[in-house]
Structure 1
Amino acid sequence: MSVMSPRSPEKTPSAPSLLPALPRADRRGLRLGAEDRDVLWLYLLTRAALWTIAYGARWLFPADGGTHDPGPVLAPFERWDWGHFLNVARDGYFPAGQGPWDAEWDNREAFFPGFPLVLRAVHTVVPHWAAAGLLISFVAGGIAVIALVRIARLYLPDEGAGRRTVQLLLISPCAVFLAAGYSESLFLALALPAWLAAHRQNWALAAGLAALATTVRISGLFLAAALALQFVLAARTRAHWRPLPWLTLPVLPAGLYAWYLQAHTGDWMAWKHAQERGWYRHFHAPWETWSRTWESAFDRTLPTGYAFMFQAELLAMAVGLTLVVLLMRRRRWPEALYVGLSLWALGTSYWYQSIPRATLLWWPLWVAFAAWSLRSPRFRTAYYCLATPLSTLFALTFLTGRWAG
């Protein structure tokens, strides 16, 4: 059994060979099995661990070393991108006529509206904004890990494969972003069920979920491209091609958002231009981006904190490229396309930014790691020994306001 080859079900007339149906054990809808319950317990424990780190960070690493007040309980989670999500949810994209024409503009239109809309809705029930954001990620993360368990079962026949896959994700270096009020958990809660729906050949549901994922992150379009390729590889008869129009649905949210921004700014590319202004995401050749990131990481031209983050960016890019090569060797073209598009988008800017966080969205990576760990005790031990301290270090870096990636 290859690392990234789906399990082959019994052949039926309605199951195309390149898009296997789910195994019988995974056709149980919302019912939770023993492995699902174990995973949810693990999920709760890892959330408690991160909240414990956040509590300790307030007391041990305050901005003012002489303070006697550790600050608000949820303050460690109110960092970086959270401010943009909060501003959009609370004030909208262009409050009081402000916009990119103002010198002090915060470029908030660089963030898709899905998470802020959900945040605003939850805020009507949970008055504290940060608590509302954490609740969204908490619930969405629980949905995502259950979906990841079932995706792992598509590829790995091993007992406990789903549990192992989720373990590796939840202790990965950037796992803190699955607990913070960020968009990663919500995206996964939509994208992973969309992938499962595609494997059930429920293309309408897959496209609908991918469309919702696109409202949350631009990565939804990468998912839509992978779904389209999966569809093309699986279609064999005229009947198989009938759901094709559904696969255009994920493009609609991106188009509507571009139209909304054009109506307020006169710029159809306002989202991209906000990315360029705020995060230096101008297009550069991939080798130029690698070279500039390498220099930033090792030439001692930046403070050590920033240099360390650029080193993490380089490592994440190397992992991503290796994953794409592996997927292509296994002829897993849709998954390779999904990860490859993500790497292209993140690897052609002025320098690398947010690639370590993006690894959270590469579910083929965690399935591959699970396969290796189940077959090699040494790999499993090495991963746990390296990932656990890195996860703690990255969590502290984020929760104390020192994150730069």
Structure 2
Amino acid sequence: MRTTPMTLLDRDVRALRTTAPPPARRARPRLDAGDRDVLMLYVFTRVAVFLTAYCTAWLFPRDPGAHRPEPFAAVVGQWDWNHYLHIARDGYFPDDPAARPAERDDREAFFPGFPLVLRAVHLLVRDWTAAGLLVSLVAGAVAVLALGRIARLELPRAADGRRTVLLLLASPCAVFLAVGYTESLFLALALPAWLAARRHDWRLAALLAAGATTVRVSGLFLLAALAVHFALTAPRRGELRRLPWLALPALPPVLYSWYLYGHTGDVMAWKHAQERGWYRQFHAPWESWGTTWEAAFGHGYSAPYALMWQAELVAMLVGLVTVGLLARARRRPEAVYVALSLWALGTSYWYMSVPRATLLWWPLWTGLAAWTSRGPRRTAAWLCLSVPLSVVLAVAFFSGRWAG
């Protein structure tokens, strides 16, 4: 057979194909299918929350005879948002008295983490309300991703991550994950911290927990859970040298107390501000229960207020059952975390913000996911109970009726 230049070229190409290295394998995406499902669910529920806010603005204007709705910023910027806004914009101790019109607005009660992030985002997003919503939107996405991964780590089915996130996002107080409040930012730090601790990455867990303690005092309850988990797992894994890292999350509250002491002469100024503004003085647990019960059913308060006190009682019962089930299952770190939260909220003059605190109890949502996964009827029953309450409380918040 006659050899031609084309024949030689074909032979060289065939040889090159047989000796060429295989194509490089694609790097595994950071977000797997389960993560993408969680994020899609998160987006859909954010649309639902803001649609509820839009309808509430039209249905419940402050002036019943108004022909225009309330500005959107006023609808979503209710209650504690004003404290965070004032701190981010003016600081804790502004030089201008007009920046702090009330004699004492007790803004020291709020930890600086969220206002600091809000102020940083405001450098790019010049509208304060939009900046607050953006912080919660991004932080909430991180939080639900971490929650989904925790659920997939602890529960047997791959779909349990999506189920756990759905239960959280459809929970009665889920509106606080969408507005300019601290819950989303706290969870965006606390849940990855717990996930890192489960993987025995104590340095990362401590760094994230330090961020959580900057945002809320609840970060100290997370620190206690991390310490218990460390005590139960680190000795047999030879990780005791990692123990000093667990001191890091205690540093932000210490620095904040030191800062307040420099301005007020009171090292516990943040706690005393809570006592003045929100009746956080210590009372025995049975006294707190009795006072809240009287407020809920004693007909001494208007009906909207009484309904909120009833919600506080129900949330406290849910928390107590959760602690009992965690203790029974020997999940001691999670039991400590929820129990400390209940102790802090259940030893004041009366219960306040217990329903909101349920958002931070990730063992509650993984436990409910495990329970509802046993049959479709359980899922349907829970969602038929939770979703209407979620809508009602969202409307109550957006219309300014959250606290009556």
- TM superposition score normalised by structure 2: 0.91
- Check whether the contact 2:112–2:215 (CA below 8 A) recurs between aligned residues: yes
Structure 1 residue 39: Cα displacement = 1.0
Q: Does 1:182 align with 2:181?
A: yes
The reply to whether residue 159 of structure 1 matches residue 155 of structure 2 is no
Give the Å deviation of 1:69.
2.1
1:381 and 2:360 equivalent? no
Q: Residue in 2 aligned with 1:345?
A: 344
SS of equivalent residue, structure 1 residue 228: helix
For 1:63, the equivalent position in structure 2 comes to: 62
> What residue number does 1:141 align with?
140
Name the residue aligned to 1:201.
200
In the alignment, the residues of structure 1 paired with residue 80 and residue 29 of structure 2 have an alpha-carbon distance, to the nearest angstrom, of 33
Change (3 A) 1:235 1:127: same
SS state at 1:243 partner: helix
Match of 1:77 in 2: 76
Residue 125 of structure 1 corresponds to which residue in structure 2?
Answer: 124
Q: Are the equivalent residues in 1 in contact too, given 2:309–2:351 (CA < 8 A)? A: yes
User: What's the counterpart of residue 36 of structure 1?
Assistant: 35
Identity of aligned residues (%): 65
CA 1:180/1:103 → structure 2, altered by over 3 Å: closer, same or farther?
closer
Tell me which stretches of 4 or more aligned residues in structure 1 moved more than 4 Å: none
1:397 corresponding residue in structure 2: 396
Deviation at 1:238, TM superposition (A): 8.3
Structure 2 Cα separation of the partners of residues 223 and 30 of structure 1: 30
Q: How many residues align?
A: 377
**Amino acid of the structure 1 residue aligned with 2:210:** A
Paired AA for residue 153 in structure 1: R
State the Cα deviation string for residues 80-113 of structure 1 (Å, max 9, x = none).
00000000000000112769x9972110010000
Aligned match of 1:242: 241
What SS does the aligned partner of 2:72 have? coil
1:304 paired with 2:303, answer yes
* Residue of structure 1 equivalent to 2:87: 88
Shift in Å, 1:222: 0.4
Q: 1:335-368 CA deviation, whole Å, 9 max, x = no partner?
A: 0000000000000000000000000000000000
Deviations 1:279-325 (A, max 9, x none): 00000000000000001001110000010000000000000000000
CA displacement at 1:387 relative to structure 2: 0.5
Where 1:95 maps in the other structure, the secondary structure is coil
Matching of residue 283 in structure 1 with residue 282 in structure 2: yes
**Which residue does the alignment assign to 1:108?**
107
Distance in 2, matches of 1:34 and 1:136, equals 25
The structural deviation recorded for 1:125 is 0.3
1:74 CA displacement: 2.4
1:236 deviates by 2.4
What residue identity is the alignment partner of 1:234? T
**Separation (CA, whole Å) in 2 of partners of 1:179 and 1:102:** 28
Gaps of 5+ in 1: 1-27
Greater radius of gyration (CA): 2
Residue in 2 that maps onto 1:23: none
How far did 1:37 drift? 0.7
Write out aligned runs for 1:224-239 (5 A): 224-237=223-236, 239=238
2:152–2:158 CA contact under 8 A, matched in 1: no
Give the drift of 1:158: 1.6
Query: Matched residues in 2 for 1:221 and 1:87: separation?
Result: 25
Aligned partner of residue 74 in structure 1, secondary structure? helix
- In the other structure, the counterpart of 1:191 is 190
- For residue 71 of structure 1, report the CA deviation from its aligned partner: 2.6
SS at match of 2:95: helix
The residue aligned with 1:11 is none
Equivalent in the alignment of 1:24: none
Give the aligned partner of residue 259 of structure 2: 260
Q: Residue 135 and residue 30 in structure 1: after superposition, are their counterparts in 2 closer, same or farther (change >3 A)? A: farther
Query: Secondary structure at 2:239's aligned position in 1?
Result: helix
Aligned residue type for 1:51: F
3-state DSSP of counterpart to 1:353 = coil
- Residues 342-398 of structure 1 show CA distances to partners (whole Å, capped at 9, x for unaligned) of 000000000000000000000000000000000133321111101110000000000
Q: Distance in 1 between matches of 2:101 and 2:41?
A: 47
**Alignment match, 1:325:** 324
Change (3 A) 1:332 1:325: same
What is the rounded CA distance, in whole Å, between the counterparts of 1:43 and 1:190 in structure 2?
A: 18
Give the Cα separation in 2 of the matches to 1:177 and 1:319. Answer: 19
> Distance in 1 between the 2:83 and 2:28 partners?
36
TM-score w.r.t. structure 1 length?
A: 0.91
**Structure 2 residue ranges without an equivalent (≥5):** 1-26
Using the TM superposition, give the Cα deviation of residue 29 of structure 1 relative to its aligned residue in structure 2, in angstroms.
9.5
Amino acid paired to 1:54: A
